[in-house]
Structure 1
Amino acid sequence: MLLSGMAGAISQEEHESHHPEQYGKASQDAGGGMMGMMGMMGMMGGKGGMMGGKGGMMGGGMDGMMEKMGAPKPKDLYPSLMNLPELTPEKREEVRKQADERVGSGTALMGKGLDSLSKGAAREDHAAMQEAISVIQEGLAQLDSGLAARRALAEGKAPRNVALQWFKREMNLLPPAAATSDHAFGGSVFHALTILILGTFAAVMIWMYFFKMRRASALLKELGSPGAVAPAAVQAQAPVAQPQAPAVKSAPPAEPPEFPAMRSRTEPVEKWSGKLRVCRIFDETPDVKTFRLAAENDVALPFTYYPGQFATLTIEIDGKKVKRSYTIASTPTQLHYCALTVKREDQGLVSRYLHDNIKEGDLIEVSGPNGKFTFTGEEASSIVLIAGGVGITPMMSAIRYLTDIGWHGEIYLLYCCRTTHDFIYRAELEQLQQRNPNLNVFATMTRAEGTVWMGLKGRFSAEIISYLVPEIDKRRAHVCGPPAMMGAMVGMLKELGVPDDLIKTEAFGPAKKPAEKAPPAEIPVPADAPAVNFTKSGKSTQLPPDQTVLEAAESIGVEIDNSCLSGQCGLCKVKLCKGQVSMECDDALSDEDKATGLILACQAKATENLEVEA
């Protein structure tokens, strides 16, 4: 039986054809074939044979030889099976367990590979799909070796034939078609598993296709009106014969398309406070820097804002926390950071600290956004932006936003600064003007002598503004800069016929510095002075006629956020629960704020008792 199995595996003629010089004479002997077969069996059998133990050619040296020939390494079960007839029951049980483990691990690997292949195909990740195929192949190899070992143990005969057939198959020595029944059983299992795997893969692909088609159909149904246009991604996935997808037949619009309202997409959230990370610092001019602030750990900012709003920084300097507000110069379309452009003032406590001490990577406490000095393109069909010095920052936020969204209204920027060295954002504005024909930038230098400047010189006048901006009386105007410059510009705009409700202003610093006052202990308080009660803190104090609610609060340790002290920023808004106040400036209050009882603590004064929510 052993000889017949061996003869079925390899013929005498085949062996002689490989070694003619050795078997040319012996083949004539009637017993030569038998002796050759027995010699072959000896090489394949014992501990020193070709396929035997660790010292055999196909035992210890098999790995290296097969790696050079491009074949996979032999499975470790086959050397153990070579001595199957002599194995003890304990050794047989050990081999059976190894075979079972091999079958289990192979099945698990194929399952894992199929799952990875399905996921990779869904997202068209070809690298992942290739890796999944390698895992499936490894699983098949392990399953094949385990099944072969089980077969040898179950039949209890010709284990060497099983090993030899495996070796010839791995070395591509078998004929194209299997002629013996020994191949039929193993081959059918392998083929069945292959067909099962391919069938499963095909089923998964078909299911994913119909799932995408069903989802595309549902999205098309939700588009609304018959004239609605499906998004490009949905149209690309939808089948040609989809009845829900209406044909789009619309001629190009004669007029520029109307851009959707900003508040319909990015309505600013409630006020946010927390720490932001300084991700980049740029020098705009010798004394102006831009600080980009990003989320501490996330990619996107934790808040949204309108172009022209400001944020308030809280900086600890010499053990004392100081707050200052700075306009956000970046565009709300940039979701990953906000940019604050700050000029270093010789007497500016916070600005000097930012320029001299803050470095990239530092964390800064920020709150906001705040402010009403905004323009999103919804408020008017054109905009005139007039700025002086660092007052260009809110204008730049609006320009960046309007050009980002492709707004088609006319934009005029009239910018005044001292010299070309003080021209903030000059390079960016030149590029934006080249790419946006509706952006008109006019700059003038007040100290142009000795510099290379061929533009306007001096300050803007009503005649120059009227010449640069046609029909200015019909346009909305925003003015930001030093108080004196703002006052002069507002007068010119009114002279040119611009209505008051189309003129918006904002000072980038205190519009009016608070007058020097004697220390509270030295101010005599009238006996009949009204009192102010702070309901949240449970504290109260007298309120002299010339003292603001904010000053009264600070005198007894009640904290109210504040920054500009001029009624411009609106950071000190508090609710008035009882009483009446007067305010010299209430620009930071909207009509809605006033209707709900909000006042500016830095401006509010009273001659009667008050109750304030603070």
Structure 2
Amino acid sequence: MMEGMGDMMRQMGVPPPRELYPSLMTLPELSPEKRAEVEASAHDRMASGTDLMTEGLDSLANSLSSNDYEAMQQAIALLHEGMARFDSGLAAHRALVGTNDPRTVALDWFRSEMGLPESPATRRIQGRILGVTWFHFWVMLSSALFVVTLLWLQLLKMRRASRLLRSLTATGLDAGVLPAAQSSAQPDNQQHKRGVNTTTPTTQRWYGQLRVGRIFQETADVKTFRLINPAGGHLPFDYLPGQFMTVMVPSGGQRVRRSYTIASSPSQRDYIELTVKHAPEGVVSSHLHSAVHEGDILEFSGPAGSFVFTGRECKCILLIAGGVGITPLMSVLRYLLDRSWNGDIFLIYGCHNPDDIIFREELDYLQRRHPNLQVVITVSQDGETVWPGPHGRITKELITETVSDLPSRYIHICGPVPMMEATKQLLAELGVSQERIKTEAFGPALGKEERLPKAAQARTPEGSSSERAGLPTVTFIDSNKAGSLPPDKVVLDVAEELGVDIDYSCRSGICGVCRVKLLSGEVSMAVEDGLQPGDKENHIILACQASATSDISVKA
């Protein structure tokens, strides 16, 4: 009968019966020695089956982590083969020690190998769950739990990788706190008597990349660049309303820096907006307007600056803007309104003509929506359409008609230097104390041309050409370089010519990033707002402002 069954199985294309099967079929007639051999063989099959299942599980784990589908299929085959061996050995043990008929046990095992239903007698005797034996059920459950565990570990690895990507995008925070800049309107003896008007930023300086999410055309020569985190989510830094960022762009094989005030509100955590006017002679502004598109990645550092108003300083604020100088004041205005600040907000905004008014539609909307906001816009001349509002420059009459009880107000001014100086004179004549006034100006507003860093030219102190020309020499001690310091240059200019690395941002003496230690000699600085309390006593200078009439040395 066994020979006939083997022939039938070969005709069906399946392997012949296992060695244990005929032994189980003849189990009652076996001698004790043969029964011992069957038991040993059954034990070996169970052991080899366990080894195969272990090997299959390990292979499956490795293939899941590498997404190798062919290896997964091979691992599943090993698991099936191991289960079959274990099951056959287990059937032999059951036949040897159990009370059931050995032939029934053998036939049931054979049916399971062939995928045939079990005999009714076996179904009555054996308990099953979901149509499978308890053994198969526990093996399948263990395998499923193992796979779920592997998938969970893979998910954790992906989350860690995402956090790592975000940390690489934000290349790190500087350990120091931003220097607190003082109001450019204050003389030296007023710097430490600012009272509530001095807001010291607590944000940390950040270096990294941001993606250009959107570009908005505000006027013919002004664009707003919305910047987002390349990794998604919130910005990798915090900032205060009125602060600025420094952007670095390539030009002539070098990186050129330029600072732009942030126009958006800090309450918007997913983006910042920089509103930039195109200056035809400006290296960075020309690059931003002509070469930067949505989706591009730009390098930034910041935030910095103390031209800040958060609403905690007082219950009323007068903002006076000229041209693109509205950008930091717009950040303050948006922030206060986002917070439902209940103080009075006055904005007096001067432009050349109606076509130059930045944020015109938004200002109209905000004024209609918020009763505590009053906006007055004056233009020097009409554009294509007649301007219905005030004309001419900002005057004492316009200020007093707009704001009552002016001497009690805090005032922030931003715009071209002549406009700011004229406005400060008007406010002084109206009885406003200088301690209540803050001003802000950068780059073109100060009348400074955007310059490309000159190629590095290493020099040594000995025999420098500046000595022969009779000009003062600046020596950079750490770099062992020196160069002439003519009257029209500052220490930072010479450092760039020589390739001496001095960090900087605004180049206006406001941010304080370029602070270095003066080791010998004396310097003069047009603007000292970036100095911190105690810097003068410790011989700290601003490289972007320091000029000299005699030889000096600095630590750089």
| Aligned residues of 1:327 and 1:394 also touching (Cα < 8 A) | yes
* SS of residue paired to 1:479: strand
* C-alpha displacement of 1:501: 1.0
CA RMSD of aligned residues (A): 5.4
User: 1:384 is matched by which residue type in structure 2?
Assistant: L
User: Is it true that 1:153 corresponds to 2:102 in the alignment?
Assistant: no
Which residue does 1:537 correspond to in 2?
479
Secondary structure, counterpart of 2:204 in structure 1: coil
How far off is 1:479 after superposition?
0.6
8 Å CA contact 1:412–1:441 kept in 2: the answer is yes
What SS does the corresponding residue of 1:158 show, helix, strand or coil?
Answer: helix
Alignment match, 1:25 = none
From 517, 535, 546, the counterpart of 1:575: 517
Contact 1:525 1:544 in 2 (8 A): no
Of 523-532 and 390-399, more deviation after overlay is shown by 523-532
Aligned to 1:190: 134
Superposed counterparts of 1:36-435, under 5 Å:
46=5, 55=12, 85=24, 96=46, 100=50, 149-154=88-93, 155=95, 156-159=102-105, 162=108, 180=125, 182-183=126-127, 190=134, 267-270=202-205, 272-294=206-228, 301-433=235-367
Other structure's SS at 1:157 match = helix
1:454-491, Cα deviation, whole Å (9 max, x unpaired): 44444433233233333332221111112222122222
Q: Is the 8 A contact 1:295 1:301 kept in 2?
A: yes
CA gap 1:382/1:98 in 2 versus in 1, 3 angstroms = farther
Give the letter aligned to residue 91 of structure 2.
A
Q: Tell me how far apart the structure 1 counterparts of residues 41 and 221 of structure 2 sit (CA, whole Å).
A: 86
Select the structure with the greater relative contact order (CA < 8 A; seq sep ≥ 6): 2
Q: 1:190 corresponds to which letter in structure 2?
A: W
Q: 1:356 to 1:143 in 2, by over 3 A?
A: same
Larger radius of gyration: 1
Does structure 1 retain, via aligned residues, the 8 Å contact 2:466–2:473? no
User: Percent identity of the aligned residues?
Assistant: 40
Paired residues of 1:385 and 1:413 also in contact (CA < 8 A): yes
Contact between 1:307 and 1:328, CA under 8 Å: does it hold in 2?
yes
Shift of 1:80: 10
Give the structure 2 partner of residue 256 of structure 1: none
Contact 1:77 1:149 in 2 (8 A): no
471, 480, 495: which one pairs with 2:405?
471
Q: Does 1:601 align with 2:543?
A: yes
1:65-113 Cα deviation digits (max 9, x unpaired): xxxxxxxxxxx9999998775699799789756864798699999x9xx
Are residues 183 and 549 of structure 1, via their aligned partners in 2, closer, same or farther at CA, if it must alter by over 3 Å? closer
Residue pairs, 1:436-585, within 5 angstroms: 436-451=370-385, 454-513=388-447, 531-540=473-482, 548-550=490-492, 553=495, 558=500, 560=502, 566-568=508-510, 570-585=512-527
**1:523-573, CA deviations, whole angstroms, 9 ceiling, x for partnerless residues?**
998988655433222334565667644455566665545676554554543
CA deviation vs aligned residue, 1:230-273 (integer Å, no higher than 9, x gap): xxxxxxxxxxxxxxxxxxxxxxxxxxxxxxxx98xx93214x44
CA contact (8 A) 1:77 1:99 kept: no
In the alignment, does 2:551 pair up with 1:612? no
SS for the counterpart of 2:216 is strand
For structure 2, list consecutive stretches of 5 or more residues without a partner in the other structure.
27-36, 62-79, 96-101, 146-198, 450-464
Q: Displacement, 1:497?
A: 2.7
CA distance in 2 between partners of 1:435 and 1:375 (Å)? 21
In the aligned structure 1, how far is the partner of 2:133 from the partner of 2:87? 10
TM-score by length of 2: 0.63
Read off the aligned partner of 1:451 and give its amino acid letter: T
Contact 2:366 2:373 in 1 (8 A): yes
**Where does structure 1 lack aligned partners over 5 or more consecutive residues?**
1-40, 60-75, 112-140, 202-261, 516-522
Tell me which amino acid in the other structure corresponds to 1:576: L
Deviation at 1:189, TM superposition (A): 8.1
Question: Contact (CA 8 Å) 2:520, 2:554: kept in 1 or not?
Answer: yes
- Measured against aligned partners, the alpha-carbon deviations of 1:3-46 in whole angstroms (never above 9, x if no partner) come to xxxxxxxxxxxxxxxxxxxxxxxxxxxxxxxxxxxxxx99xx95
Question: CA, structure 1 residues 48+495, in 2 after alignment: closer, same or farther (shift >3 Å)?
Answer: farther
Which residue of structure 2 aligns with residue 32 of structure 1? none
Are 2:467 and 2:473, in contact at CA under 8 Å, matched by a contact in 1?
Answer: no
Quote the residue 1:245 is aligned against. Answer: none
Of 150-159 and 564-573, deviating more is 564-573
Distance 1:469 1:307 in 2: 22
* CA deviation map 1:194-230 (0-9, x unaligned): 8xx89xx9xxxxxxxxxxxxxxxxxxxxxxxxxxxxx
In the alignment, is the contact (CA less than 8 A) between 2:443 and 2:507 conserved in 1? Answer: no
Distance 1:186 1:338 in 2: 58
Would you say the 8 A contact 2:25–2:106 is kept in 1?
Answer: no
Amino acid across the alignment from 1:387: A
What is the number of residues matched between the two proteins? 453
Greater alpha carbon shift after TM alignment, 402-411 vs 545-554: 545-554
- State the AA in 2 paired with 1:502: R
- Asked if structure 2 preserves the Cα contact closer than 8 Å seen for 1:466 and 1:472, the reply is yes
Shift of residue 421, structure 1, vs aligned partner: 3.5
Matches of 1:142 and 1:79, distance apart in 2: 13
TM normalised by structure 1 equals 0.58
Indicate if the aligned counterparts of 1:511 and 1:566 stay in contact, CA closer than 8 A.
no
Q: Which residue of 1 is the match for residue 149 of structure 2? A: none
CA deviation vs aligned residue, 1:50-79 (integer Å, no higher than 9, x gap): xx78749xx9xxxxxxxxxxxxxxxx9999
Question: 1:485 aligns to what SS in structure 2?
Answer: helix
Mapped partners of 1:174, 1:429: distance in 2: 86
Distance 1:319 1:104 in 2: 59
Structure 1 CA distance for aligned equivalents of residues 310 and 262 of structure 2: 14
Q: Distance in 2 between matches of 1:173 and 1:146?
A: 21
Counterpart contact for 1:78–1:149, Cα < 8 Å: no
Kept in 1, the 8 Å contact 2:41–2:89? The answer is no
- Residue 394 (structure 1) shift: 1.0
Q: Distance in 1 between matches of 2:416 and 2:310?
A: 24
Alpha-carbon distance in 2 for matches of 1:538, 1:325? 30
**Cα shift at 1:494:** 2.4
The amino acid of 1:376's aligned partner reads T
Answer whether contact 2:472 2:550 (CA < 8 A) is retained. Answer: yes
Compared CA separation, residues 189 and 447, structure 1 to 2 (3 A): same
